[in-house]
Amino acid sequence: MQTPKQLGGIDFGLMDPETYRDISATKVITADTYDDDGYPIDMGLMDPRLGVIDPGLECRTCGQHSGSCPGHFGHIELAAPVIHVGFTTLIRRLLRATCRECGRLTLTEMEMEEYREELDRAEDLGKDPDTVLKAAVRQARKAGSCPHCAEPQADIKHEKPTTYYEVQNVLSGEYSEIIAEAMQPDEDDEDDEGMSPQALSDETGIPLDRINQILGGEFRPRDDGRRALEKALDVDLTEEDMNKLMPSDIRDWFEQIPDSDIEVLGIDAEGSRPEWMIMTVLPVPPVTARPSITLDNGQRSEDDLTHKLVDIIRINQRFMENREAGAPQLIIEDLWELLQYHVTTFVDNEISGTPPARHRSGRPLKTLSQRLKGKEGRFRGSLSGKRVNFSARTVISPDPTLSLNEVGVPDRVASEMTITINVTDRTLEEAKQYVANGPETHPGANYVKRPDGRRLKVTEKNCEELATKIDAGWEVNRHLIDGDIVIFNRQPSLHRMSIMAHEVVVMPYKTFRLNTTVCPPYNADFDGDEMNMHALQTEESRAEARVLMRVQEQILSPRFGENIIGAIQDHISGTYLLTHDNPHFTETQALDLLRATQVDELPEPDGEDETGPYWTGRTVFSLLLPDGLDLEFDSSAGDTVIIEDGHHLQGTIDEDAVGAFGGEIVDTIVKQYSETRARVFINEVAALAMRAIMHFGFSIGIDDESIPPVADEQVDEAIDNAYGRIDELIETYRAGDLESLPGRTVDETLEMKIMQTLGKARDSAGEIAEDHFADDNPAVVMARSGARGSMLNLTQMAGCVGQQAVRGERINRGYEDRTLAHYEPNDLSAEAHGFVENSYRGGLTPREFFFHAMGGREGLVDTAVRTSKSGYLQRRLINALSELEVQYDGTVRDTSDRVVQFEFGEDGTSPVKVSSSEDFEVDVEGITDRVLDAEFDNDSEKEAFLTPSESPTNLSEHTDTALSSEVESDD
C-alpha cells in the first residue's frame, strides 16, 4: 500500500534521451505486433513488458495482470535525429539568436545581463516573459557577425513545419555574364556607348587585368570588389544560397550553446537542453494507452497510435538498411524526410501544410495531440467535464397548467431515473410496493441493495418475489414520482438562474414541460430547445436544492435585483385587456376568468347594468393581490397604477406591473411578502391572463397593419419632402457650399445630414401610421403593453422600412463609385445608398430587397460572432474564478487561502435584498418600520426603545480582571 504524498511543485521541461532509455521497459525493434498464435512478439509494439491488456496475461515488468498494471514505456532508437514538431518556433528562435560557429548567443555580455534583469522583473511583476524573450531574439538576430567569435551570421528561413535553411547572399554563378551584359550599350539610347573595361577599372579601382580576368570568369571578385562592381554597373551580382540544415546539424549546433546563454532566452538549462528538442530516441507509449480492440469476428483492430508507431519503425529500419548498404545521399535524405513526417504526425496530425496521416478508409488518424486538444479532448472532454448518471435531456414544450415550481417529466424518463430510499420500518410498505410494481410499471423500482451490499436488478420476473424479501436495512432505487425535486438546466448557463430546482410532475409523452413564466431565466423558447434534468441522489442535496435552488427562490435576479420571473407575452396582453378599459363581467364570466386560481368567491358586485350585477376587470385582478399591498407607479401604457390595501383602483396592469424583468407588483410581493406568495401570484396572474385573453379573443392578421390610402399618401409626401431636402443638400455639397460640422469633413457632414433627414422621414412616416391605428389594434396593444414588438416594428410594417445600414453607415460598398450597376457613378441619393421607402406590407423593390439583405446579414453575422466570443469569454471566466469561495468568515478566498475580497462583492450586499425603487436606493425607513413592528407588541415599548437614554459610564464596572491587573502592575 502506497502512502499519499504531498506535491511541492511541478516543473515542466524537456526530457533527456538518456532518461527515455532509463524509463523504457524495452527497446522496440520490430513493427510486428502478434505472432501466428496471437501472442505478442518480443520487442514488438505489444511486448508484454510494455503492459498487458488481455485478461489472461501477466505483465513482464511489474508482474501484475491487466487492470492493475499501469503500463510501461518502451523506446525506439531513431536511425537519425528528427525535429519535435511541438518546438519548431523555439528551434527557429534559437537558430536565429545563436552563433552558427560557436553557439553563443549573439548578444554582448552587457546586453545579456540587461535581458536577464528584464526577465526577472517580468517574473516579479507577473508579466508575460515572452515579450522580453522576443525582444532578446530580435536584437540577437540583428547582429551581422558574432560578438564572441566574429563569424558572420546567416539568416534562418523556416519552412513549416520542420525544415530550416541558412540563407546567405553569395556571388552569383553567372557573375561574368551579368557584368558583360551591363557593360553593353543601351540599344534604345543612341548616345550610350556602353562602358569599356578601362572605364570600369577606373571607376572601381580594380586593376584592368583583374577586370579582364573577372570578365573571363577566371577570377571571382571578393566582397569589396563585388560591391564596387555592383555600384558602378547598378546590378545585383548575388544570389540567395539556401543551405538546408539537417536535424543532426541543428543538434550539433545546439549542443554548443552554453547553459548561461540560453537562460537569457528563458530556458532552464538544468531541466531542458535545447538539443533535446531534436529527438534521437522516441518513447513508445504503454500498451494500456493504446489498447487494441478485438472485433466480433475475432480480428484485432489496433489503436491509431500503434498504426503510427508501425510506420515509424518500418521507415526507421529501411533508413538503417539503406545507410548500411551505402545508398546515395538523395535516397537517404528522402527516407530521413519520411521518418520526420511519421514522427511529426505521431505527435500532431493536424499540422497546416502537412497532409494528415490517414487510415486505409481515408479517416485521418487520431494521434497524441488530437487526444488532448479541443472540446472532446482529454482536458475539456474527460477531465473538466464528463457525462453523468441520473441525468436526462429532451426537447421542452410549454404547459400553462403547471406551477412555475414544477417540471413535467416524461414517464419513460421518470422510470429510468431513480432515487434511493433507505428502507426502515416506516418506509417498508412503500418500498415493497415500488419493488412489486417492477421496473416497467410507473412508480416502480429498478434496483435494490441488500444489507450485505449486493445490488440486484429488479426485473418483471423477479419483482414479486423480491418485494417479499425487502426489509429494513435494504435500499430501493425507486422511480421518480410527483413532488421529487430535480435540477433543471438549459445551456448556455450564463447566470445563476440557468440551473434551478423543480418539482417533478410525471406526464405522458416525450418532452419536458415547463410553465412559460420560467422562460426568461433560462432564456428558453419552444422552437426545438432542449434542456437537461438531474435527479439528486442524496437527502442532503435534495434538501439543499429545495431550500436554495427552487425556482421560487430565484424570482429576484442577483444581476439587477428585480424579478426575472413574471408575466410574459400573452400574459401581459391578457392583463392589459382585463384592466386597461376596465371592462364589465357578469358573475359567470368573472368566475370563469378565475377558474384556474384559488379564488372561488366573488366580492360584492361593482354595480349593476342591463345584464344584471357586474364586476370590473380591476376588481377581478384585485382578487389575486395580497391584502395590505399599497403601490403607486407608472405603467408602460402611460397611466398611473394605484393599488391600495390590495385593491387595484386605477391604471393598466401591463409589463411594468407584472412582467418579468422588473414588474413592480411581483417585485414588491417577493420583497414584502414572501417567495411563496410571489410564486402563487405569478401562477395566478398567468392563469387569469390566459382566461382573459381567451375571453376577448386576440389575433393579428395582415390587415391589422394596413393604413388607409390617405395615410399612404401622407407617408409618400413625407418621404418626397425628405428626398427634396437631400437633393438640396447634395447640390450645396457639389457647389462646395456645404459647411462642415465641427470635427467632421464635408463628406462626413453630408452623410450625417442625409442620415438625419432620412431618419426624420421614417419617424414622421411612423407617426402618420400610428395616428391611423385604432387603440384596440392587437399589434398596438402588444406594443403599448410591452407584451411583444414595438411601435417601430409597426411603422416598418405599415409606413416605411427606412435606411439600411452596414457598419453604422449608409450602404456604400459594391462597385466602384456606386453600390449597384443600376445607378450612375457617384450618385449620392437616398435610393442609391440603401434607403427603403416602402413598407414590409407594401413590399420592397428588388433593389431595396438587396440592400435590406445586406443590412440583415450583418445582423446575423454579428450574432454568430457574439455568441462564440461570449462562449469563450465564459470559459475563461469560469476557469479563472472556479477556485474562489466565500468562507464562513465572509471573506472570498482562493484555494491557497489568499483573500481576494474581504467581503463578497466588496460591500457584502446582495442586490436582491436592496430596494429597487428609484427614489430610495435602500428603503431604510421601510425596513426599520417593519423590523420595529415585528419586534415590539405595543407603541410604548417601541417608544422606550427609540428614545435615547444616557448609559452609565463607570468604567470600572466594565474593566475585566486582566486589564485591571495590568493597570496595577504599572504602579
Find out whether 800 is annotated in a ligand binding site.
Answer: no
By CB under 5 A, residue 529 contacts Mg ion? yes
Closest CB to Zn ion among residues 51, 574: 51
Find out whether 311 is annotated in a ligand binding site.
Answer: no
Helices (H) then strands (E): counts for the chain = 33, 30
97-126 binders of Zn ion (CB under 5 A): 99, 101-102
CA-derived radius of gyration, the chain: 42
Residue type, 120: D
C-alpha grid cell for residue 505? 410532475
Cα(675)–Cα(276) distance, integer angstroms: 65
Reported residue count of the chain is 971
Binding mask 680-719 for Zn ion (x = CB under 5 A): ----------------------------------------
Per DSSP, the residues of 250-263 read HHHHHHTS-HHHHH
By CB under 5 A, residue 53 contacts Zn ion? no
By CB under 5 A, residue 530 contacts Mg ion? no
Cα(69)–Cα(289) distance, integer angstroms: 12
Question: Residue 124 binds what, of Zn ion, Mg ion, none (CB under 5 to 8 Å, by partner type)?
Answer: none
Find out whether 75 is annotated in a ligand binding site.
Answer: no
CA nearest 346: which of 335, 357, 355, 354? 357
Closest CB to Mg ion among residues 169, 397: 397
Stretch that binds Zn ion, among 29-37, 44-52, 189-197, 856-864 (CB under 5 A): 44-52
Q: How many residues sit close enough to Zn ion to count as binding (CB under 5 A)?
A: 12
**N- to C-terminal Cα separation, the chain:** 65
Question: Residue 529 binds what, of Zn ion, Mg ion, none (CB under 5 to 8 Å, by partner type)?
Answer: Mg ion
CA nearest 440: which of 457, 464, 466, 416? 416
By CB under 5 A, residue 62 contacts Zn ion? yes
CA nearest 871: which of 532, 494, 531? 494
Phi, psi of 781 (to 5 degrees): -60, -45
Closest CB to Zn ion among residues 69, 232: 69
C-alpha grid cell for residue 186? 543601351
Stretch that binds Zn ion, among 67-75, 423-431, 514-522, 943-951 (CB under 5 A): 67-75
Closest CB to Mg ion among residues 152, 492: 492
Closest CB to Zn ion among residues 43, 700: 43
Question: Residue 494 binds what, of Mg ion, Zn ion, none (CB under 5 to 8 Å, by partner type)?
Answer: none
139-168 binders of Zn ion (CB under 5 A): 146, 148-149, 151
Question: Residue 47 in contact with residue 37, Cβ under 8 Å?
Answer: no
Cα(773)–Cα(781) distance, integer angstroms: 10
Closest CB to Zn ion among residues 150, 547: 150
Stretch that binds Zn ion, among 51-59, 126-134, 370-378, 842-850 (CB under 5 A): 51-59
Closest CB to Zn ion among residues 60, 490: 60
Stretch that binds Zn ion, among 60-68, 311-319, 756-764, 814-822 (CB under 5 A): 60-68
How many other β-carbons are positioned within 10 Å of the β-carbon of residue 227?
14
Cα(757)–Cα(764) distance, integer angstroms: 11
545-564 binders of Mg ion (CB under 5 A): none
Residue 30 DSSP SS3: coil
By CB under 5 A, residue 527 contacts Mg ion? yes
Closest CB to Zn ion among residues 108, 756: 108
Cα(801)–Cα(769) distance, integer angstroms: 12
Residue 449 bridge partners (DSSP):
455, 475
Find out whether 224 is annotated in a ligand binding site.
Answer: no
C-alpha grid cell for residue 524? 428558453
CB of 529 to Mg ion, least distance (A): 4
Question: Residue 573 in contact with residue 589, Cβ under 8 Å?
Answer: no
CB of 152 to Zn ion, least distance (A): 10
Closest CB to Zn ion among residues 136, 670: 136
Question: Residue 167 binds what, of Zn ion, Mg ion, none (CB under 5 to 8 Å, by partner type)?
Answer: none
- Whose cell is 450602404? That residue is 811
497-526 binders of Mg ion (CB under 5 A): 525
From 31, 59, 284, 505, residue interacting with Zn ion (rule: CB under 5 A): 59
Q: How many residues sit close enough to Mg ion to count as binding (CB under 5 A)?
A: 3
Question: Residue 101 binds what, of Zn ion, Mg ion, none (CB under 5 to 8 Å, by partner type)?
Answer: Zn ion
378 secondary structure, DSSP code: I
Question: Residue 69 binds what, of Mg ion, Zn ion, none (CB under 5 to 8 Å, by partner type)?
Answer: Zn ion
CB of 792 to Mg ion, least distance (A): 23
C-alpha grid cell for residue 685? 396572474
Cα(717)–Cα(710) distance, integer angstroms: 11
Residue 166 bridge partners (DSSP):
156, 243
Q: Which residues contact 303 (CB under 8 A, 6 or more apart)?
A: 290, 291, 292
Question: Residue 676 in contact with residue 651, Cβ under 8 Å?
Answer: no
By CB under 5 A, residue 57 contacts Zn ion? no
- Tabulate helix, strand, coil % of the chain (nearest 5): 45, 15, 40
Find out whether 519 is annotated in a ligand binding site.
Answer: no
Find out whether 763 is annotated in a ligand binding site.
Answer: no
Output 57-60 pairs: Cβ under 8 A, ≥24 positions apart.
60/25
By CB under 5 A, residue 921 contacts Mg ion? no
Closest CB to Zn ion among residues 92, 148: 148
Closest CB to Mg ion among residues 525, 921: 525
Residues that bind Mg ion (CB under 5 A): 525, 527, 529
Residues that bind Zn ion (CB under 5 A): 51, 59, 61-62, 69, 99, 101-102, 146, 148-149, 151
| Annotated binding-site residue numbers | 59, 62, 69, 72, 99, 102, 146, 149, 525, 527, 529
| Annotated binding-site residue numbers for Zn(2+) | 59, 62, 69, 72, 99, 102, 146, 149
